[in-house]
């Protein structure tokens, strides 16, 4: 045990991870210790990461961040889900929406009723029963209590800036400079201080590594190790480019599959973020750039930027007196926009286990146990999109379709295909609705379903399903367009 009281926390790095950590620690625990953040303008940030999931809205509420201020400052739009295009067979689309699909009963979830309806000629798509998806398709949006479950598309650079102002107003001290060396205690191996190129030395008891892929503390100094998942998630590169807005921003992200990867389209108020995630084994950087430039709607605002990564996770999210957040803790690729969520959940886990009176092995173990299981669950969900496909039109898709998958995913997929059942635990990010939407969307169709659905008489089933659809359709009819709502919400003084 390191029984030093924590009086000073040092955050290394000031991208989304660093400033989210600074904002939350200063707001929620800032009276208990000093916080210093070191960042280097010369190194800069990764400059991508602009789509989030609904937990970000809850995070902002926890910090008391005003949504309108945040959206104006970061030129955000609302996001209701992700539209997956060409993932199943190269000529298809489905949406993974943020809300519930239909209504459950205690014995079986909604997919059983939908499957029974399908068998009995009630032939509507699964997404006809999801309010968020229907609103997204109609390009509509509004806020109301018990209404749409949503998140945001945001400008990552402006978000870090916004959180910097917030954090500094809560007492965070920012130091500009490049970290050159890290000093450790010879006996315990704990980090004692970091040194900057200008000669400054910054001491602390707890260090948070937010230095992105560099992992300056967690890897370069502590040699924590990395579990490589690229045999399951083989994309290792991305090329990103921003373009001018030429049409109303869609309230959803587009994810368009290509022969060796997929393309994102993230609409903000003032511009659109575009990128191609690809596997360098099958596509060169140059060809990836050309493919992306061929598939964007308007002139690029800057030159395309290539980013290299390795999917996987740090062996420990917390090692010695250092906690890694953001890209320094691992990367699962951006398919389901989970990285910002993972930063947030890492911060909240750290706050719950915060070692005010010294670091104990049990707290570190608990953190790492939760860190591992959270990442493995999300990893499985992302692999599902690649593996469960009918596509075999390129070496990339042939590999993904035929690769060995984790046993946990194999079990979940087989259970769904054989019985229509999906079970998730309380701590898992993606719940039954998400798994069902993506499995059905990718073409996994169950052979059976729970017979609780068949106990209903045909006319009862018809009226049950019709009522859900009509309620959704009526609610969507009443919504303003996403653009109209944004104009009122973000541009009013
Ligand atoms: P960075 O942004 O790289 O910041 C690192 C910080 O550390 C910088 O301030 C840098 O200056 C500093 N630093 C590094 N080395 C030193 C040093 N030696 N001395 C001093 N300072 C140093 N996430 C999502 O949630 N949604 C998405 O849609 C999404 N899309 C993505 C697309 C791609 C292609 C990639 C690669 C990632 C995507 N992510 C996405 C992930 C997201 O970008 C990151 O999780 C998020 O930006 C956090 O990054 P970070 O703060 O960990 O690292």
ipTM reported for the complex, 2 dp: 0.99
pLDDT at position 1, please? Answer: 60
331 Ramachandran zone, left/alpha/beta (phi>0; psi -120 to 50): beta
pLDDT at position 195, please? Answer: 98
Report CA(45)–ligand 1 centroid distance (Å): 5
Report CA(214)–ligand 1 centroid distance (Å): 10
Nearest atom within ligand 1 for CA of residue 338: 25
The answer, yes or no, to whether any atom of ligand 1 lies below 6 A from the CB of 49, is yes
Report CA(12)–ligand 1 centroid distance (Å): 12
Show the tokens assigned to 182.
């890290």
Q: What is the 3-state secondary structure (H, E, C) of 335-367?
A: CCCCHHHHHHHHHHHHHHCCCCCCECHHHHHHH
Nearest atom within ligand 1 for CA of residue 340: 25
C-alpha gyration radius of the chain: 23
- Is the Cβ–Cβ distance between 468 and 102 less than 8 Å? yes
Report CA(370)–ligand 1 centroid distance (Å): 22
Nearest atom within ligand 1 for CA of residue 328: 52
pLDDT at position 103, please? Answer: 86
The answer, yes or no, to whether any atom of ligand 1 lies below 6 A from the CB of 330, is no
The answer, yes or no, to whether any atom of ligand 1 lies below 6 A from the CB of 212, is yes
Pocket mutation for ligand 1, best pick of 154, 198, 202, 327 (most atoms within 8 Å of C-beta): 327
Order across the sheet with 173-176: list the strands: 173-176, 34-39, 8-12, 206-209, 322-324, 318-319
The answer, yes or no, to whether any atom of ligand 1 lies below 6 A from the CB of 50, is yes
Nearest Cα residue to atom 43 of ligand 1: 49
Report CA(156)–ligand 1 centroid distance (Å): 9
Pocket mutation for ligand 1, best pick of 175, 268, 334, 338 (most atoms within 8 Å of C-beta): 334
**Residue 457 Cα distances to 87, 113, 130, 354, 451, angstroms:** 36, 12, 23, 55, 12
Q: How far is CA 313 from the centre of its chain?
A: 15
The answer, yes or no, to whether any atom of ligand 1 lies below 6 A from the CB of 39, is yes
Written as tens digits, the pLDDT of the chain (493 aa) is: 666 788 999 999 999 999 999 999 999 998 899 999 999 999 999 988 899 999 999 999 999 999 999 999 999 999 999 999 999 999 999 999 999 999 877 767 899 999 999 999 999 999 999 999 999 999 999 998 779 999 999 999 999 999 999 999 999 999 999 999 999 999 999 999 999 999 999 999 999 999 999 999 999 999 999 999 999 999 999 999 999 988 999 999 999 999 999 999 999 999 999 999 999 999 999 999 999 999 999 999 999 999 999 999 999 999 999 999 999 999 998 999 999 999 999 999 999 999 999 999 999 999 999 999 999 999 999 999 999 999 999 999 999 999 999 999 999 999 999 999 999 988 899 999 999 999 999 999 999 999 988 888 999 999 999 999 999 999 999 999 999 999 999 975 5
Could you tell me where the beta strands, DSSP code E, fall in 225-270?
226-228, 237-244, 253-258, 261-267
List the catalytic residues: 79
- Pairing relationship of beta strands 179-184 and 191-196 according to DSSP bridges: antiparallel
Nearest Cα residue to atom 6 of ligand 1: 13
The answer, yes or no, to whether any atom of ligand 1 lies below 6 A from the CB of 215, is no
The answer, yes or no, to whether any atom of ligand 1 lies below 6 A from the CB of 71, is no
Could you tell me where the beta strands, DSSP code E, fall in 158-250?
173-176, 179-184, 191-196, 201-203, 206-209, 226-228, 237-244
Nearest atom within ligand 1 for CA of residue 179: 19
Task: Delimit the domains of the chain by residue range.
Answer: 1-100+129-393
Report CA(356)–ligand 1 centroid distance (Å): 28
Please tell me the class of the 1-100+129-393 domain.
Answer: alpha beta
pLDDT at position 492, please? Answer: 58
Extract the annotated binding site for L-tryptophan: 336
pLDDT at position 104, please? Answer: 73
């Amino acid at each position: 045990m390191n029984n030093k009281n924590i009086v000073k926390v040092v955050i290394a790095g000031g991208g989304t991870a660093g400033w989210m950590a600074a904002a939350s620690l200063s707001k929620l625990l800032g009276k208990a210790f000093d916080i210093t953040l070191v960042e280097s303008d010369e190194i800069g940030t990764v400059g991508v990461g602009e789509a989030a999931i609904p937990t970000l809205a809850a995070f902002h509420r926890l910090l008391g961040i005003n949504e309108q201020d945040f959206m104006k400052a970061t030129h955000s739009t609302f996001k209701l889900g992700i539209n997956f295009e060409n993932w199943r067979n190269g000529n298809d689309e489905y949406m993974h929406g943020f809300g519930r699909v239909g209504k459950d009963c205690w014995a079986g979830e909604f997919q059983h009723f939908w499957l029974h309806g399908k068998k009995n000629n009630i032939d509507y798509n699964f997404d006809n029963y999801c309010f968020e998806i229907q609103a997204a398709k109609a390009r509509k949006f509004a806020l109301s209590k018990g209404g749409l479950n949503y998140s945001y598309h945001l400008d990552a650079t402006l978000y870090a800036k916004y959180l910097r102002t917030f954090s500094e107003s809560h007492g965070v001290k920012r130091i500009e400079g490049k970290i050159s060396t890290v000093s450790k205690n010879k006996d315990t191996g704990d980090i004692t201080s970091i040194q900057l190129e200008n000669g400054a030395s910054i001491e602390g008891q707890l260090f948070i590594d937010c230095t992105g892929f560099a992992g300056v503390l967690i890897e370069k100094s502590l040699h924590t190790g990395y579990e490589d998942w690229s045999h399951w998630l083989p994309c290792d590169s991305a090329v990103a480019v921003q373009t001018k807005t030429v049409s109303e921003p869609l309230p959803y992200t587009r994810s368009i599959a290509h022969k060796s990867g997929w393309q994102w389209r993230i609409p903000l108020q003032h511009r659109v973020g575009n990128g191609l995630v690809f596997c360098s084994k099958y596509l060169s950087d140059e060809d990836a750039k050309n493919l992306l430039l061929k598939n964007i709607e308007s002139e690029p605002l800057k030159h395309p930027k290539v980013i290299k990564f390795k999917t996987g996770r740090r062996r420990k999210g917390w090692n010695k007196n250092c906690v890694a957040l953001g890209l320094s803790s691992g990367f699962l690729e951006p398919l389901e926009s989970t990285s910002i969520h993972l930063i947030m959940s890492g911060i909240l886990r750290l706050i719950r286990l915060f070692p005010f009176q010294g670091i104990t092995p049990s707290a570190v173990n608990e953190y790492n146990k939760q860190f591992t299981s959270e990442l493995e669950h999300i990893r499985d969900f992302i692999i599902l999109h690649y593996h469960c496909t009918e596509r075999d039109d390129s070496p990339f898709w042939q590999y993904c379709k035929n690769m060995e998958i984790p046993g946990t995913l194999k079990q979940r997929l087989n259970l769904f295909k054989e019985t229509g059942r999906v079970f998730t635990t309380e701590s898992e990010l993606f719940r039954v609705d998400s798994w069902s939407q993506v499995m059905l969307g990718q073409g996994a169709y169950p052979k059976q379903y729970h017979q609780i659905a068949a106990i209903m008489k045909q006319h009862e089933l018809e009226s049950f399903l019709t009522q859900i659809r009509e309620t959704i359709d009526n609610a969507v009819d009443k919504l303003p367009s996403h653009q109209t709502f944004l104009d009122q919400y973000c541009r009013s003084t």
